């Protein structure tokens, strides 16, 4: 009887140990697979985010550079030189406008990582959200723009940048500045039945217009740098997520 109880106890112990070992092995295998899957997804997300960020950064830089070129050439370039600058500006504007919808979607799905490394909730952002709410000559903070705007978000900043490109109207203003001032009218008294021609634009007025356009382009450059900063922070958080966790951290995730 004692011997039967001994074998019975050994059998129960063996069975319990086998089940426990199988559970631990299965759990460890599953956790390892999940950790590897997490790393693979994080690396893929980092790769997509980096590509989207680099593309947006290059397009912004090109548009800013060519904006400065046509603004500075509006008053001193000959027709052929200015026309060549204008063609290049039109090309980068076209490139930006074609790429922008894709960039917004890419930013939403690849760069929206909060301070805790979690993916932010998707929100469709329309340029119309900024109408009469965003002052492109001011810093982008809680006092500027729609109430729901989150300026820690690279996507919000990219959308604001697109809006400010539209508002700045670089090309029409550069073309207007290129028009030579009208000559001063002759010093004759206008007849009562005819309206006198408008006075010519003064050199000081033209200088102020040039400075205003340059200032607006400088503001665009500042907002572009803010897009880059927000994007780089998101990429840094994504890069942290690709780090392999130590054994202790791995066990804590169980």
| pLDDT tens column, 121-157 | 877 888 888 988 999 999 988 899 898 898 989 999 9
| Choice between 188 and 120, residue whose per-residue pLDDT is larger | 120
In what helix (H) or strand (E) does residue 231 lie, and over which residues does it extend? Answer: helix 203-241
Of residues 190 and 110, more confidence is placed in 110
In this prediction the pTM is: 0.75
Do residues 161 and 63 make contact, with C-beta atoms less than 8 angstroms apart? no
Query: Residues 114, 120: contact at Cβ < 8 Å?
Result: yes
CA count, 13 A, side-chain hemisphere, 32 = 7
Domain boundaries, the chain: 48-178+201-246
Sign of the dihedral defined by the CA atoms of residues 210, 212, 215, 216, in that order: negative
Q: DSSP state, 121?
A: P
C-alpha to C-alpha distance for 49 and 45, rounded to whole angstroms? 6
């Amino acid at each position: 009887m004692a011997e039967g109880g001994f074998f019975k106890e050994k059998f129960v112990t063996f069975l319990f140990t086998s089940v426990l070992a199988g559970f631990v092995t299965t759990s460890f295998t599953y956790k390892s697979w999940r950790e590897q899957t997490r790393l693979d997804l994080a690396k893929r997300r980092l790769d997509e985010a980096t590509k989207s960020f680099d593309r947006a950064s290059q397009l912004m830089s090109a548009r800013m550079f060519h904006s400065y070129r046509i603004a500075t050439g509006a008053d001193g370039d000959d027709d052929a030189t200015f026309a060549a600058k204008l063609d290049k500006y039109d090309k980068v504007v076209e490139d930006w406008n074609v790429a922008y919808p894709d960039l917004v979607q890419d930013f939403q799905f690849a760069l929206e990582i909060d301070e805790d490394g979690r993916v932010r909730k998707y929100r469709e952002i329309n340029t119309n959200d900024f109408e009469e709410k965003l002052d492109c000559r001011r810093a982008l903070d809680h006092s500027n723009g729609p109430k729901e705007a989150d300026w820690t978000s690279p996507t919000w900043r990219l959308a604001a940048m697109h809006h400010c490109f539209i508002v700045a109207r670089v090309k029409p203003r550069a073309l207007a500045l290129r028009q030579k001032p009208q000559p001063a009218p002759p010093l004759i008294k206008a007849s009562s039945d005819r309206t006198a021609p408008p006075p010519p634009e003064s050199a000081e007025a033209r200088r102020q217009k040039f400075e205003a356009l340059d200032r607006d382009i400088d503001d665009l450059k500042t907002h572009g740098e803010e897009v880059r900063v927000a994007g780089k922070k998101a990429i840094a958080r994504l890069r942290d997520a690709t780090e392999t966790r130590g054994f202790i951290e791995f066990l804590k995730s169980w």
